[in-house]
């Protein structure tokens, strides 16, 4: 069993600005640094431009979760600091960005997997007025009897962090939009 998390946010910049951000390893580090500690590690970053014209990006990040932001039910499973390992694989074009996310929490039976997309809003060509980032994840805690409660606590925790992540993405896109 798993618990679904679906999130969607609008941004005032078109898909090309978002695609350029997703092609930058520093963007991925900054967007997840919700507590401003700078403790997010980009473990791996690969970028390729195959013949189809779409850019491919794969980024692996390691993110310690600040104390006090770990749900109590999850904290009981830990012997130390909660660390999230997140892999994102993106296919980027000026019209649309499509991705997959894989999340693991080492030392726990908690994981997540799902899809991400950035599509244009406005003119329909992706380059217009704005864009929308959508994330659809299935969170799984493979623990008999307690799994559903842990999954709901993790989803609630993620929802609590998305506001700050949205601000960090917005700040990055604002700077990129002014520079472009």
Residues contacting residue 48 through CB under 8 Å, at least 6 positions apart:
55, 56
Span 61-85, mean pLDDT? 70
pLDDT tens-digit readout, 151-163? 666 666 666 666 6
Percent of all residues in the chain with a pLDDT value above 70, rounded to a whole number: 72
Domain CATH for 153: 3.30.530.20
What is the domain extent for residue 151?
3-179
**Model-level pTM greater than 0.85?**
no
Residue 94 pLDDT > 80, yes or no?
A: yes
86: left (phi over 0), alpha (psi -120 to 50) or beta: beta
How many domains does the chain divide into? 1
* Token output for 32: 């997840």
The reported pLDDT for the residue numbered 101 is 92
Residues contacting residue 139 through CB under 8 Å, at least 6 positions apart:
2, 3, 4, 5, 110, 111, 112, 151, 154, 155, 158
pLDDT tens-digit readout, 3-58? 888 889 999 889 999 999 999 999 988 888 777 777 888 999 999 987 788 899 99
| 3 burial via Cβ count (<10 Å: 0-12, 13-18, 19+) | buried
- Residue 126 binned pLDDT confidence (cut-offs 50, 70, 90): very low
């Amino acid at each position: 069993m798993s618990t679904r998390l679906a999130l969607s946010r609008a941004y005032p910049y078109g898909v090309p600005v978002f695609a350029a951000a997703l092609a930058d390893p520093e963007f991925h580090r900054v967007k997840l640094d919700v507590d401003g500690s700078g403790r997010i590690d980009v473990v791996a970053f690969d970028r390729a431009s195959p013949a189809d014209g779409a850019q491919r990006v794969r980024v692996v990040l390691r993110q310690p979760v600040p104390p006090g932001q770990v749900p109590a039910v999850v904290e009981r499973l830990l012997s130390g600091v909660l660390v999230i390992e997140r892999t994102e694989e993106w296919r980027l074009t000026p019209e649309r960005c499509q991705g997959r996310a894989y999340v693991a929490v080492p030392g726990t039976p908690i994981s997540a997997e799902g899809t991400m997309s950035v599509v244009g809003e406005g003119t329909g060509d992706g380059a217009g007025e704005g864009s929308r980032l959508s994330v659809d994840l299935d969170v799984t805690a493979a623990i008999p009897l307690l799994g559903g409660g842990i999954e709901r606590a993790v989803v609630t925790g993620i929802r609590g962090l998305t506001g700050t992540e949205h601000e960090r993405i917005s700040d990055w896109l604002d700077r990129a939009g002014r520079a472009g």
